[in-house]
Amino acid sequence: MNRYHLTHLKELEAESIFIIREVVAQFENPVLLFSGGKDSIVCHHLARKAFYPANVPFPLMHIDTGHNFEELYKFRDELVKETNARLIIASVQKSIDDGKVKEEKGINSSRNKLQTTTLLDAIEHHQFDCAMGGARRDEEKARAKERFFSHRDDFGQWDPKNQRPELWNLFNGKKSFGEHFRAFPISNWTEMDIWQYILQEKIKIPSLYFSHQRDCFIRNGVVMAKTSFTLTKPEEEITKMQVRFRTIGDATCTGATISNADNLEKIIDEVSSSRITERGGRADDKRSEAAMEDRKKEGYF
Amino acid sequence: MSDQYLNMDLLRFTTAGSVDDGKSTLIGRLLYDSKSIFEDQMEAIEIASSNKGEEKVNLALLTDGLRAEREQGITIDVAYRYFATPKRKFIIADTPGHVQYTRNMVTGASTANLAIILVDARKGIVEQTKRHSFIASLLGIPHIIYCINKMDLVNHEEEVFEKTKKELVDFSSKLTTKDIRFLPISALNGDNVVNRSKNMNWYEGSTLLHTLENIHIASDQNLIDCRFPVQHVIRPQKEEFHDFRGYAGRIAGGVFKKNDEVVLLPSGFQSRIKSIQIFDNELEEAFAPMSVTMTLEDDLDVSRGDMIVRVKNQPEILQDIEMMVCWMGEKPLLSRGKYTIKHTTNEVRCIVKEILYKVDINSLHRDTEDKSINCNDIARIAVRVTKPLFVDKYNINRTTGSLIIIDESTNNTVGSGMII
């Protein structure tokens, strides 16, 4: 590499840091949505780089479905302690208890969709004017048209046909009272970029991403983990499998991959030879062709 | 696993072509032949194609993301696509061919290093070709590749390619773009896209992907004129960093080194660079487009919107600015109208003093009579801003030479400006 030319990871990093700083400069009360998954972990790492030696000038917010893996809660709490982060937890269980949302019924029920209400309520309660998230444009086709700075109306809704043009590195975060923004600093990263960056920067991630033994069953061709809150049909046989997770979401809708990859190098090899996208294992996207677009319009991440 | 990824760089390109030039097919082909389409994505578009009663798998469906687009078979908005080879990561800004064409292409072109312009081998240069070329050149894209497509429909004849190439060479001499290349391809059959064509042995140049992988982009950044717009001031309220005052920002031009003598704009105070850092890593030097934090030897009053530059190489400090503007608002541009401008990390108000002329983007003719500037029009205008901006000409620096115009009643971005 030429001395005055950046590698793709360094250029992506520079772009994302610029966007995170721009959010802090343009908004009064931003927040970083933190799921404990690799993308939000990378966002948090970039935020620490952006403001060092000062602390990250915004809190993390976890929209907790209550249906996450134990490993994830443990990881989240350790990260908060180690990096001196401020953490806000918004609970989907509380939204259910308050009667704001109704739990889905049936074997494929998931709290994934309910998160939207909890998220919008929390944004309003804490008066956040910009919620940053770790969504990437390569994840899903509706995301490919998302802006870095995404304008939301009073109801938190996204109007994909009426987005502001976004040119050069000039971001327009102007809004009227009551409106807010979503900002996506790692829009231009791919799954592979994330893994390479985690390796390059030696970033800690939850053990769920590495190969381990777990009680699992198979539904619609997807390997699902057996937890205390997943319902299984009688014919669904529970067996010990050697698995890891490519994405980490709500345990009720996140599929595992049969894998022996127990370190980052092996994961990168596995991802580069994989013929299936990471969301291929997400039951929530399989509901319909426009599932993601519909959830995003309502105010999903 | 090798460490090859530590040597990869990033190329951003935009694709332009009119509706039937096969642009979506070309992108689909690039993604498919470079093995960047996954089985579940392929499966999804196979089902969607057969649901629509189409016989072949429609690769164009890969790029149609929104429900309305799939239903109407059109593309509404700029979509970003990603693929990588062991040498490079690529970001494609895929812009639609008809609705809001200019606005979308300008958006996609604003961050691109390279433009692919598709030309139908049967038709040669058409109005759209001129329009795409003009926008690519206006937006300062350093490299243009003309892909003469559908060679299969002209029997892969060399004469057809040479004739179209000659027309393009003559036409493009009017453009400011310096690096212009020509490729005969068939996106449908994959000839010269990723794999060499067996049907065009007379062609001795590289394939499209090989060109994209090897084109030299390291000198596209301005590494001569040092510009550091201050984005944010870092003042940690911590015991151990008691006197720390860091200026965070993204270098917009040049190479800054430790101990460089610098001047602060607008105050004009001089100082020296004490440190340049990214996180806890101290650097000897940093260059565009890195995001860094700098500290200075002297304790000065610096805030967002200020610019750190070299003493002997300063930008222009202007309150009266002339620019080419691409209008993107639903309401027309108002002469004497007041707008907000965002330029680097500055925000100012402006008044439109004069509309000098409108450009007919098909003929490149300058119209000084009709000065009604509507959405998708390109014009030369003069504005006066409320406080001086630190600017370079757009063709010298795409960061310090660009700005956006915002409607104060709707907060929408309604124009993009390239400073002359």
Q: What is the mean pLDDT of residues A18-31?
A: 97
> So what's the pLDDT on residue B173?
87
For A163-192, write each residue's pLDDT tens digit: 889 999 999 999 988 889 999 999 999 999
Judge: B65–A144 Cβ closer than 8 Å, yes or no. yes
Second-level CATH architecture of A8-193+289-298: 3-Layer(aba) Sandwich (3.40)
Q: What is the mean pLDDT of residues B104-111?
A: 91
Helical residues (DSSP H) of B199-324, grouped into ranges: 208-214
Q: Parallel, antiparallel, or unpaired: how do β-strands A180-183 and B378-391 relate?
A: unpaired
What CATH number is given for B227-310 in this structure?
2.40.30.10
**pLDDT higher than threshold 80 for residue A118:** yes
Judge: A193–B89 Cβ closer than 8 Å, yes or no. yes
Asked if domains B227-310 and B316-419 share a fold, the reply is yes
Residue A61 contacts residue A122 (beta carbons within 8 Å): yes
Judge: A170–B250 Cβ closer than 8 Å, yes or no. no
**Any B CB within 8 A of A219 CB:** no
In sequence order, the 6+-apart residues with CB closer than 8 A to the CB of B372 are B332, B358
> So what's the pLDDT on residue B92?
93
Q: What is the mean pLDDT of residues B294-318?
A: 96
- A6, closest residue in chain B (CA to CA): B9
Residue in the structure block whose two tokens are 């590495």: A210
Question: Across all residues in chain A, what is the average pLDDT?
Answer: 87
Q: Is the peptide bond before B289 cis (omega within 30 degrees of 0)?
A: yes
- B418, closest residue in chain A (CA to CA): A168
> So what's the pLDDT on residue A140?
75
ipTM of the complex: 0.93
- All CATH 3.40.50.620 domain ranges in chain A, comma separated: 8-193+289-298
Minimal CA separation from B64 to chain A, in Å: 7
For A253-297, write each residue's pLDDT tens digit: 778 889 999 999 999 988 877 666 666 555 555 545 556 666 666
> So what's the pLDDT on residue B97?
64
Of chain B, the percentage scoring pLDDT greater than 90 comes to 68
Judge: A5–B232 Cβ closer than 8 Å, yes or no. no
**pLDDT higher than threshold 60 for residue B327:** yes
Residue ranges of the domains in chain B? 4-214, 227-310, 316-419
C-alpha closest to that of A170 among B340, B408, B403? B403
**Any B CB within 8 A of A167 CB:** yes
The domain defined by B4-214 folds into Rossmann fold (3.40.50)
> So what's the pLDDT on residue B312?
93
Judge: A52–B293 Cβ closer than 8 Å, yes or no. yes
> So what's the pLDDT on residue B352?
98
Which H/E stretch holds residue A257? strand A255-258
> So what's the pLDDT on residue B69?
57
> So what's the pLDDT on residue B198?
93
**pLDDT higher than threshold 80 for residue B62:** no
Report the distance separating Cα A231 and Cα B25, nearest Å: 44
> So what's the pLDDT on residue B63?
62
C-alpha closest to that of A204 among A38, A64, A92? A38
Q: Parallel, antiparallel, or unpaired: how do β-strands B88-94 and B9-16 relate?
A: parallel
* The CATH homologous superfamily of the domain defined by B316-419: Translation factors (2.40.30.10)
